Structure 1
Amino acid sequence: MASLPDENQKRFVAILNKKMDLGRTLNVLGHISVGLSDLLEQSDAEFVDYYDKDKHQHPNISHYPFIVLKAPNSNKFRTVREQALELGIQFTDFTHTMIEGGSSVQQKTNQ
C-alpha cells in the first residue's frame, strides 16, 4: 500500500435539503460532486483502489471522508455558502432554478 496522508486532514462535505425526495437529492449530489471534482487541483484529492475478498478492484475511491449533512431550509445553505466564501473554501452549489429542464433551459432561466 502506498504511503497516504492523514485521512482526517481534509473532508468533502455535501449539505442537502432534507425536504427533497430521494431521487432529486441523489441527482443534486451527483451534480455537485462532479462540479467540485472539476474545481480541485490534483493535489487536493487522494484516491485509492480497494480490493474485496474476491480480489475484485474498486478503483478511485476517495481517501478523504465524504460527509453528507442535511439542512432544514435555504437560510442554512445561504449561511454556509457565505462562510465558505469568507474562508476561501472551494465549493459548488445547486439552486432551485436548476431543477427543471436540462442545462440549456436552466441557463436561459437564470439570465
Structure 2
Amino acid sequence: MKPMYADNDSKFIAVLNRKIETPKLMNALGHMTVGLMAKLPAVDKSKPLKYEFEASWADPSLISLYPFILLAAKNNNQLKTLHLRANELGVCHNAFTDSMLGSSASEQQQQTKEVETDNLTYFGIVIFGATEQLTDLTRKYSLFKG
C-alpha cells in the first residue's frame, strides 16, 4: 500500500459532474481553479513551491504544496448541495455552471445572475481548506476516472 502524501493539512478538491463531457469539464476546472486562487485571502495559503528545471531556458513552475484531488458527483443535485454547504460553512470555493457559457463574459455574467439556482447545471466546484473539514464535505463522492 502506498503511503499517504505527507503534506496534507490542507487540500484542494474539485468535484466534477460526471455527466458533462471531459473537454468541457477540463475548461471549467481551469476557470474554477483560477477563480478560487483569486478568492483565497492570500496566495501563500496554497503554499506555492518553486520547481526549477535543469535547463536554463525553462521558467520555474509553481506547484502547491497541498494535494489537488479530483472527485466525481453522480448528479447535479449533489453539486448544488455541496455548493450550498460550502457557503454555509464558509469554505473557500468556486463553482462553474452552464450559465457561464456564452458568446461573451458580460453575457455569461448576466445569464448567471438571472437563472434561478434550481435551473443551473453544475459542471463542478473547487474547494480549498483544512483536510478534516473538506473530508466531511466530500465523503460521499468517488474518485474522478475521466
Is this a same-fold pair by TM over 0.5?
yes
Q: Does 1:12 align with 2:12?
A: yes
Look up the SS of the partner of 1:104 in the other structure.
helix
* C-alpha deviation, 1:57, in angstroms: 5.8
Q: For residues 101 and 20 of structure 1, what CA distance do their matches in structure 2 show?
A: 20
The 5-angstrom pairing of residues 1-111 of structure 1 reads 7-42=7-42, 43-51=44-52, 54=54, 58-109=60-111, 110-111=113-114
Unaligned runs of 5+ in 2: 1-5, 115-146
Structure 1 unaligned blocks of 5 or more: 1-5
> Aligned partner of 2:69: which letter?
I
Fraction of identical pairs, as percent: 34
**Letter paired with 1:35:** G
Residues 17 and 73 of structure 1 are in contact (CA less than 8 Å); yes or no, is this contact kept in structure 2? Answer: yes
Q: Which amino acid aligns with 2:45?
A: D
Aligned to 1:3: none
Q: Which has the higher contact order (CA 8 A, sep 6+)?
A: 2
Judging by fraction of residues, say which structure has more strand.
Answer: 2
* Structure 2 residue matching 1:93: 3-state secondary structure: strand
Are the counterparts in 2 of residues 50 and 57 from structure 1 also a CA contact under 8 Å? no
Cα RMSD, aligned residues only: 1.9
Alpha-carbon spacing, 1:22–1:58, altered in 2? closer, same or farther (3 Å): farther
- Give distance in 2, aligned partners of 1:74 and 1:32: 17
Deviation per CA, 1:46-102: give whole Å up to 9, x if none: 0112245x4666421011111111112111001111221222101110112112323
Rounded Cα–Cα distance in structure 1 between residues aligned with 2:23 and 2:80: 23
In the aligned structure 1, how far is the partner of 2:90 from the partner of 2:26? 26
Q: Distance in 2 between matches of 1:57 and 1:10?
A: 27
